Amino acid sequence: MSKVILITGTSSGFGKSIAEKLHSQGYTVIGTSRNADKINSAFKTMKLDINNYEMSKNLIDNIINLYGKIDILINNAGINITGPIETANMSDIKKVFDTNFFSHVNMIQKVLPNMRSNNKGLIINITSIAGYLGLPYWGTYCASKSSFNIIAESLNIELKKYNVDVVNISPGDYKTEISLNRVDRLESASPYYNEYKNVINSVNSKMKHGRDPNEVAELVSKIINEKNPKINYLVGGFLEKKITLKSLLSDKIFQKIIMKLYN
C-alpha cells in the first residue's frame, strides 16, 4: 500500500496545493475541511473542525481502521486575526492559539501511538516565516507560529528512538487566500489606525504578488523522500534571507529593517 497522508486544511492555499501534488504522485491522501461536503477534489476530503478534539480523534481512528496506518501528518490549517496587541480581545488571542497551536498538538498526540507502533512516521508542520519575527500588528499570529516551531524541536528529540521525524516548513510571502480569510480588528478611531492600515496594505500587496504555493508542495514532496530531513525549512525568497541577519545584528537594527519592509 502507498503511504497514507493526512493533511489538515486542504480547501485552499498550501493545503490544497500539497494535497493535489501528493495525490498526483500516487500517495493515499486524505484532506480535511470544515466544509468537506462542498469540495470536489481528486483526493479524498473528510469533514473536520480541528478545534473539536473529539472529532479529530474520531477522524484519525477512522482512517487507521480503514487503512491500517497514518504514515504522514501534515498540519496546515490556520487562521490570523490582526490588530494592535493593546486592544486585542482575549477571545481572539485564544482563538488564534487554539487553531494554530493547540489543535495541531492534539492532532500530533492522536497520530503518535500508531506511528510509534509502526516504528516510523513523519509530521510536517506548515508554520510561517512570521514565527521568526515580531511583525507589527501580527503579534498573536507570530507568537502562535513561534510556539509551533519550538515544540517540533522538542518532539524531534522525544521521538528519535521511534523513527518519527518532525519538520517545520516556514513560508514567507506566497499567493494564498490567507489575506482574504484574515480577520482585521481595528476601529478608525484607534490611535494605531494609520500605521496599521499602512502595514496591512503592504502585507496585502506582498501576498497578491507572492510566490507560487506549488513551491511549498514541491518541498513537501522532496522532504517525504529524504532519509534525514532537516527540522526547519525557511522558504519564500527575499524575506527568509533576512532571518539570517537576526543573529548578526542588534535587535534595534534588525527591527528597523523589518519596519522598512512595511512602510
* Structural domain boundaries in the chain: 4-261
Nearest-5° angle of CA 237, CA 167, CA 254?
A: 45
Closest of 137, 139, 218, 136 to residue 171, by C-alpha:
218
Coil vs helix vs strand at 164 = strand
pLDDT of residue 101: 96
Helical ranges in 124-213 per DSSP H: 139-159, 178-181, 193-208
Q: How far apart are CA 64 and CA 162, in angstroms?
A: 18
The answer to whether the CB of 129 falls within 8 A of the CB of 178 is: no
pLDDT of residue 26: 96
pLDDT of residue 166: 97
pLDDT of residue 75: 97
Closest of 39, 37, 30 to residue 62, by C-alpha:
30
The predicted model scores a pTM of 0.89
Provide the residue-wise pLDDT of the chain in tens; the chain has 263 residues: 799 999 999 988 899 999 999 999 999 999 999 988 888 888 999 999 999 999 999 999 999 999 999 999 999 999 988 999 999 999 999 999 999 999 999 999 999 999 999 999 999 999 998 888 888 899 999 999 999 999 988 999 999 999 999 999 998 777 666 655 678 787 778 899 888 888 888 777 766 666 788 899 999 999 999 999 999 998 876 555 566 555 555 656 656 655 665 56
pLDDT of residue 112: 98
The per-residue b/e assignment along 43-82, b for 16 or more CB within 10 angstroms, e otherwise, is bbbeebebbeeeebeebbeebbeebebbbbbbbbbbbbbb
pLDDT of residue 168: 95
Closest of 31, 28, 27 to residue 16, by C-alpha:
31
pLDDT of residue 242: 61
pLDDT of residue 211: 78
Four-point Cα dihedral 200, 183, 33, 59, nearest 10: 120
**Domain range 4-261, its CATH number among 1.10.1200.10, 2.40.50.140, 1.10.760.10, 3.40.50.720:** 3.40.50.720
pLDDT of residue 54: 97
What is the CB neighbour count within 10 angstroms for residue 95? Answer: 17
Nearest-5° angle of CA 54, CA 56, CA 57?
A: 65
pLDDT of residue 261: 58
